[in-house]
Amino acid sequence: MQISIFTVDAFTDQPFSGNPAAVCLLEDELEEGWHQKIATEMNLSETAFIRKLHPTDDFTRKNVNSTLTFVTLSGELNARQAGDHIILDLPLYPTYPQDFQEVEKLVKATVGDMNVQDVRYSPDTKKLLVCLSDAYGRSDLEKIQVNAQELLLAEKTGKVQGLIVTLKGDFHGKHESYDFYSRYFAPWVGILEDPVTGSAHTVLSSYWSQQLGKKEMCAFQCSTRGGKLKILLRPDGRVDVSGQTVIVLKGFLTI
């Protein structure tokens, strides 16, 4: 069997940046266990499998009004195209003030002695949000070096499964203008740092919308690869997170 396969860099307009994912187009059902085997072979943080719901469906037909539904470990994820952007329809998760003393070791293991102005927790996602002082800039966030073992030793309760470090944007710097910056670490689930994280922005969008009083925002995730995200808080309490994509590889997988 030959399967059409692509490597797509998401949340970027440049190859070899953003969040890389493998996408497989399935004409037929795979045998049990093959999905995981293919994902392991591709060795990327995400591997998506798209199959036809009806025999007459055409993978090559472009329809900007169509929606793809992905079944993930976090539930169904709907994606649609709008111009040169792909929009993800995501839930919006609130954050709550966190007692700093309870997470002080974890925060210091992440950002050292940097001045922290806010610490929030999202019980729905088990993510801790650490907001740095406005005195810092994007370059300060990018310089943070995190050791996975130190984070694991600082948090063993299972309460935190992902840690977001974020910072208010700078509209007067040498880079493009963004409302906020972030980095995301999750060694508790085997990921030291994720390049670009849609799920983290379900938390970040809620937090920064309150802080900035805005429903539409632009964000940048400051990983080594980097990623640009557009955010729109909707009246129904959900959030649209969108970005551009670049196909960097296409071919066939033979099994």
What amino acid positions are annotated as catalytic residues? 46
> SS3 breakdown of the chain: % helix, strand, coil, rounded to 5?
20, 40, 40
Annotate 7-51 with three-state secondary structure: EEEECCCCCCCCEEEEEEEECCCCCCCHHHHHHHHHCCCEEEEEE
Would strands 238-243 and 227-233 be described as parallel, antiparallel, or unpaired? Answer: antiparallel
Tokens of 85: 């952007």
| Dist CA 81 CA 63 (whole Å) | 8
* Three-class DSSP category at 119: strand
Closest CA to 128 of 153, 102, 150, 146: 102
